[in-house]
A and B are shown apart, each in its own frame.
Chain A
């Protein structure tokens, strides 16, 4: 017998697929979770971003046309050159990047990378991403400064999940790369970003 057949032979059950599906669905009715006031989703998200476990800085823009100026402000604050890894996202084509040096492949020691999240999550202050032709993943982990545009905010993690077929990666970023592995002392920038800057769009 193959390993597969052997293992499955020991795991036979009598429940029908429909019965199992009904039970699984029932287990998700009204889940307990920290409550997010529906009238305060935006405020809750912004408050979460400033928690010490997330520790993001925040800016706000009305349209994507304002994005280069917002990034220039951040770079000036952080004494960074106007050099940026940007994803090949057509939405960024409408921005005037005069004064910036842009590239779309992240270097091993990339100083700063820009990404557009699908949404932010108020419950946890998470930023939600999916990989695709216009959205590589690696720059978001290589860069020291992770700069993220957030066009939309949802209340709960469940609202951020993807229905249907998934892309290669669907991921939630909640803060910066951190470790407490040496004597329990918290250090930011263990492997990935040390700084997270959120630019709320709209």
Chain B
């Protein structure tokens, strides 16, 4: 699992949640909510889809780490790797 693959997973989840958004030129270092029309419920959905689809738990205090694609990759990649190694 590379950071790039991890970003793709997140983008895929966003595409499921918000099929009406254009995700083609998402910038990695800009906060998602500044580029997309996502509200707090949509972020809840991202967290829940990570759990449902990939068994990844994001505790509440870590939610801010999902702010941009870069920060998602930084935070989630180790979690995906950990999952793969068990």
Indicate, yes or no, whether A interacts with B: no
Which residues of chain B have a CB within 8 Å of any CB of chain A?
none
